[in-house]
Amino acid sequence: MSSAATMRSWIDAAAALGHWEEMAKVLATPGNPLPAHMAMIYNARALKMSGHQPEGDALYRAALEKYKDKYEETLAILEYLQRSGEHGLCDETLKPLLARPESALETLSRLIPVVQDQRDSVRLRQILALAQAEPSLAQNTAILNDVDYLELVLGRQIDLKKIEARFEVSPEDMPTRFTYALALLKDGKKSQALSLLMKDLVPLGQLTPSQLAILSQALALNGKKQDAIAVGSLIPAARLSAQEIEMLAKSLQ
């Protein structure tokens, strides 16, 4: 209990070992150095994991109610709910935050990396669906592009002409270009996709892991397997979702 940092290290270790009841007792001890809102939500999870689900759920809600007018604290709780797999309560908490136009994009920018760390494109698509339901975000081009990208990763049908039209408006926008290229690959237009990606291609070190994966797929599907493997070797696998890895693996077979 000497500092918040060491306390968090102890909590991580206790969680990894499944010492939930001990964690709950320590977190309830007066004078622990964690911020009050974090102590509450760590304790809520410890209670639930030690078999006291009603008490844990009640404590989660008590924390949200207590800090509902404090954005940073609410956002920290939201991120923890997502990390802990409390998706129902996470979404319930997220909706009113997204309904505030002045902070909706910031909320997304803080939550999305947490979801990406969990490497699940399905869950990320669910979060973006909540964002699209808000009038202030419904026509945001970055969100629209991310949604189309995820639909492609998940193997769902989308309108190629819609993506093409967005690309023609912003041909220099890298996320749009790579989503369009992936749509072309899915539509069987593999040479067109590769040509699109290779035109004015920025240094590979400037591409995101997802963009590298698309480039690797385009190379592989055009018979350039060694180049595809070379590009693929640059991708930190921990930054791709399970669905993205599966998609890439199929093209490299």
Residue 82 forms part of a structural domain: no
Percent of the chain with pLDDT over 70: 100
57 assigned to some structural domain? yes
pLDDT classification of 32: cutoffs 50, 70, 90 = confident
Q: How many whole angstroms separate alpha carbon 38 and alpha carbon 76?
A: 8
Average pLDDT of the chain, as a whole number: 94
CB 132 within 8 A of CB 100: no
| Nearest in space to 165 (alpha carbons), one of 153, 152, 183 | 183
Among 66, 81, 106, residue at a domain's last position: 66
CATH number of residue 171's parent domain: 1.25.40
In a domain, 247, yes or no: yes
Question: Which pTM was predicted?
Answer: 0.91
62 within a domain of the structure (yes/no): yes
**Domain boundary residue, one of 38, 66, 94:** 66
pLDDT tens for 191-229 read: 999 999 999 889 999 999 999 999 999 999 999 999 999
- In this prediction, residue 1 carries a pLDDT of 74
Asked if residue 185 lies in contact with residue 193, where contact means CB atoms within 8 angstroms, the answer is yes
**Residue 230 domain flag:** yes
Residue 143 in any domain: the answer is no
pLDDT of residue 118 exceeding 80 = yes
Q: Domain boundary at 66, 89, 122, which?
A: 66
Q: What is the pLDDT of residue 238?
A: 81
Domain count, the chain: 2
Domain holding 52, by residue range, is 1-66
pLDDT band at 170 (very low <50, low <70, confident <90, very high): very high
Q: Does the structure show a pLDDT above 90 at 239?
A: no
Instruction: Provide the pLDDT for residue 31.
Output: 82
- Structural domain includes residue 152: no
Q: Which phi and psi (to 5°) does residue 112 adopt?
A: -60, -45
Q: pLDDT (tens digit, 9 = 90+) per residue, 70-102?
A: 999 999 999 999 999 999 999 999 999 999 999
Residue 93 covered by a domain: no
